[in-house]
Amino acid sequence: MNPKKVLIVDDEPAILGTLQQIFERSGYQALTAESAETALGMLENETVMIMFLDLNLPGMSGVDLCRLIRKKNRIAIIHALTGYVNIFGQIECREAGFDDFFVKPVDINVLLKAAESAVEKLHRWKVDEYEVM
């Protein structure tokens, strides 16, 4: 398992492409999906432990995607990305299983720091020694 692998799910191609480039330049393997359904298909074949999910997706929402991921992977570190913020949305995200919540536009250094923190946490938890999914 590559501990520096991230999944980014966003329906805006410009955001998706930018985040992919930045993560890859920072040493991550960045997988991308423009929909929750595509992401679920990818997760059938890939073990990814760090994820950044847009909440407002066409079809299935990022919150519903997080709930489905959590049914199979209780250890992954999943971050919410959104352009809209309110306390009810944040509560719903926590209940769905998100570990953190970022409001767009977000400073890319903050996302990179979150990803690095996730890598360190997974290493401490010795996640690479287990088959997670």
* pLDDT in 10s for each residue of the chain, 133 residues: 677 999 999 999 999 999 999 999 999 999 999 999 999 999 999 999 999 999 999 999 999 999 999 999 999 999 999 988 777 678 889 999 999 999 999 999 999 999 999 999 999 988 764 555 4
Nearest Cα neighbor of 66 from 4, 9, 121 is 9
Distance CA 79, CA 23 (A): 15
Q: Give the pLDDT confidence score for residue 2 in this predicted structure.
A: 74
Domains of the chain, by residue range, sit at 5-129
DSSP class of residue 11 equals S
Would you say the C-alpha torsion 64, 7, 43, 34 has a positive or negative sign?
positive
Distance CA 82, CA 71 (A): 22
Does the domain at 5-129 match CATH 3.40.50.2300? Answer given as yes
